[in-house]
A and B are shown apart, each in its own frame.
Chain A
Amino acid sequence: MKYVNEKDINEEIKWAQINTDILQSLQNPRKAYWIAIAVCLAMLSCAVVAEVYQYQTGLGVADLNRPHMWGLYIATFIFWIGMSHSGTLLSAILHIIHADWRKPIYRFAEAMTTFSLMTAGFFPMLHLGRMWNLYWVIPYVSDRGIWPNFRSPLVWDAFAITTYLTSSALFLFIGMIPDLAICRDNVTGWRKKLYTVLSLGWQGTDRQWRHFRKTYMLMACFLIPLAVSVHSIVSSDFAMSIMPGWHVTSFPPYFVAGALYSGCAAIITLFILLRYFFRLEEYMTVALMEKTCKLTFAIAMVWTYLNLVEFGATWYGHDPVAKEVLISKFVGPFAPYFWAMMFFGSVLPFALAFEKLRRHMPTMMIVSILLNVGMWLERWMIVGPTLSHAYAPEAWNFLWPSIVQWAIVFGSFGWFGLLFLIFVKVFPCVSMYEVKEMVFHRRREAHAEVAEKFHRRAADVQQATGRPSVEGA
């Protein structure tokens, strides 16, 4: 209880100080950064080698077989799609409900959304037998009058993911415009040119702010149903099928909860990394860590509940085959991974319920990574056991994925890391203008009269010029 009055952010902090602190993260990288880039590139090249080999030889090298037509590729695809959801949670949902503690940490979460979608998108492509014909999924006008099959959830996937990727990238960019203007005014060289183009002539005028606010709110409102629908549609890949263990009504909410869960866990991981490496302790405070952890804990419990609902419905339902699949998860060849998933997904999050653990960064680092290991296993447990143990007993077998599958999965983390590393050096990973807003509001709450003295509202008439203030850019 001793932290109950802890401040989310130091409200005495100067606006110029905020600019300086965040902009220092864009300075020329140190050695550790280049090492991290090299590691990510090495991981990525594993995947590239494996994929080239698989493309040339056929999917047999992935050791996929008749019941196991899908393997780690689809499991990891769901994992990355899921990871993308918490960015929207932080930036859009918490934005429209005015939870202003999101402000220092939403930018990198939003970037995570975009990059994990860019990672996820590769998987359905590279798992295709004939990748070069991928564009047939798009309803383009063909002179043979052939359309894709709009009844197939895979086509819905293609629409949903491209829409979500476009919108979240746009949302990330729009939210960054005022910050890009700050960067533009403070840098030289190639960065100056880049930010000049990207900041779209932002001057911070009253009119620009009004348009900006409206656009941002509109995008937020557009993105929330989109995020929910995307993972519901991904869950339809399974829920719409006839297979035991996939044909589950509760899959859409279960997938969305799992998505938010793994995303929040990833936010904790990146939170700690950025806080440590960019020395952003002033902004990514322990109090914010606590709030993120509490949010993650709540979502973990929702996920656990939906998991138990699924088990219960299958156990007491009148579908003996689905029950067999469930039992095979408990005691079959997948049992070690299943129980690891249950432990990491449902037991480990209780670590987030303890204040002492929540405030201890190294512990949280390990816990958050393990939570995501659990969530990755969850996706594998969705795809694998059903394929192993469905209706036809002739086709029951257990598949251990080949090195090619593992290499591509491993490399996807390198690709994501690479994109993220480039992002944090090119763009401000903490939203400067929103931290200023947050500081401003907190200061007004704490010392109203002081704040009135220091800050005019945007519409206030300036003493010197007689024109409305343009402060805030």
Chain B
Amino acid sequence: MSLNNILTNWSRYRKGAEEGGFHEYEHQWGMVVDLNKCIGCNACSVACYAENNLPVVGEKRCGKNQAMNWLRIERYWDEPDLEPYNATPSANIDAWIEGNPPAKKTELKPSMPSSYLPGLLEEGGQNFEQRVGFGGTKSEFQDFGASFLPMMCQQCHAATCEPVCPVAATYHTPDGLNAQVYNRCIGSRYCSNNCPYRLRYFNFWSYYEDAWPEPLHMQLNPDLSVRDKGVMEKCTFCIQRIRVAKDKAKMEDRKVIDGEFSTACVQTCPTGALVFGDMQNPDSQVSKLWSYHQVERGKTKQSKQNKELRGYRVLEGLNTDPSVLYLERVREV
């Protein structure tokens, strides 16, 4: 390695740090999640497991919050009659659904402060009092007050996980993605600690030996690796599919066409609640939805005036500039 090489690399590194990453993106992959259409079926999550070689960790480890669900459907309930930490909450709500509401509404504990999820609340209105979930009963239905929030890596443009990685294993790609280099990761887990959405998953165990017993190993996706213990991972917007599409477009000497490919979750969603595309392409469906809902990148507070527009980004107030736009669910009062 020549001295010249060191100096060049150093200056490139310095320049990158000063200018804050890439300015001229090749693409800016983004997503739109329409919560009106989401029925909480978890098909997207299952598709993600299949596409990205995610290990099924088993009940015990899942109970310890060591599951690897890159895309998770968060469930929230808005019944004021539920006491969140009661022993039999589901029995409680079932009774309520059958027409026996709890007797004393005044004795309820205060719910979480309405300021809890600023991004949600600003746009979401007074009914968005959040509750940590429990389920398995009728209360899973939206008609009875459940709300679903599919959460995948938000691919923030001002990602909080990127600057804290000691070895720069997570970085911003020219595609506007928040990439994770498994081979470079040393497992300090700082990125996950600094992710406000808690969307980074760590391989606490070695799964390749027991998560896919024969013949299940045949279902593994050959386009990407199986990660070993000690590595952080997260949703990549199915970067292997992006690669294939880009390579194909390059070989055919054209641009990537909108809708030519999509991520596994988008492909699978039965109601079409998820839309994926390139936000640099003004004709893409994603760009149109973003501009229709007057949500702009790089802003902490959106300047939209029309209250009818449903777009918001989760925890927008933190200025992480996520690439995923959520369209709020409209409900009858």
Binding site for B on A (CB under 8 A): 57-60, 63-70, 124, 127-131, 133-134, 136-137, 141-143, 145-155, 158, 237, 240-243, 320-321, 324, 387, 390-397
Contacts and interface: CB of A to CB of B under 8 A. Distances in A.
Question: Which 4 A/B pairs are nearest by Cβ-Cβ distance?
Answer: A129-B187, A129-B230, A60-B204, A58-B229
B204 A59 contact: yes
Contacts of B206: 57-58
A241 B65 contact: no
Contacts of B151: 392, 394
Given A130-B230, A242-B160, A65 B64 contact: yes
Given A58-B204, A59-B187, A65-B64, A394 B163 contact: no
Interface residues of B, number: 58
Contacts of B115: 320-321
Nearest to B115: A320
B231 A67 contact: no
Interface of B: 1, 5-6, 9-10, 13, 17, 61, 64-67, 72, 74, 76, 112-113, 115-117, 130, 132-133, 151, 160, 163-168, 184-190, 192-194, 196-199, 201-206, 229-232, 315, 318, 320
Given A58-B205, A64-B204, A145-B5, 14 more contacts: A59-B229, A64-B189, A66-B67, A129-B187, A130-B230, A131-B186, A133-B186, A134-B186, A146-B184, A149-B166, A152-B168, A241-B160, A243-B193, A324-B112
A137 B1 contact: no
A124 B117 CA distance: 32
B contact patch SS: loop
12 contacts: A58-B230, A60-B66, A66-B201, A69-B189, A70-B189, A70-B193, A129-B186, A129-B232, A149-B163, A149-B165, A243-B193, A390-B196
A391 B196 contact: yes
Contact of B163 (A66, A70, A152): A152
B231 A321 contact: no
B65 A397 contact: yes
B113 A320 contact: yes
Nearest to A156: B166
B166 A66 contact: no
Nearest to B194: A241
B160 to A, nearest CB: 5
A137 B17 CA distance: 17
Contacts, number: 173
Contacts of A397: 65
A137 B166 contact: yes
Contact of B132 (A63, A64, A143, A396): A396
A154 B191 CA distance: 11
B167 A67 contact: no
Contacts of B167: 133, 136-137, 148-149
Given A60-B204, A130-B185, A393 B66 contact: no
B66 A394 contact: no
A393 B116 contact: yes
Contacts of A130: 185-187, 230-231
A151 B166 CA distance: 8
Nearest to B196: A391
A40 to B, nearest CB: 29
B168 A147 contact: yes
Contacts of B117: 391, 393
A448 B165 CA distance: 63
A242 B230 contact: no
A58 B196 contact: no
Nearest to B168: A149
A57 B205 contact: yes
B202 A154 contact: no
Nearest to A154: B166
A67 B198 contact: yes
A237 B167 CA distance: 15
A324 B65 contact: no
Contacts of B230: 58-59, 128-131
Nearest to A134: B186
A268 B186 CA distance: 39
A160 to B, nearest CB: 13
Contacts of B130: 393
B187 A395 contact: no
A340 B152 CA distance: 39
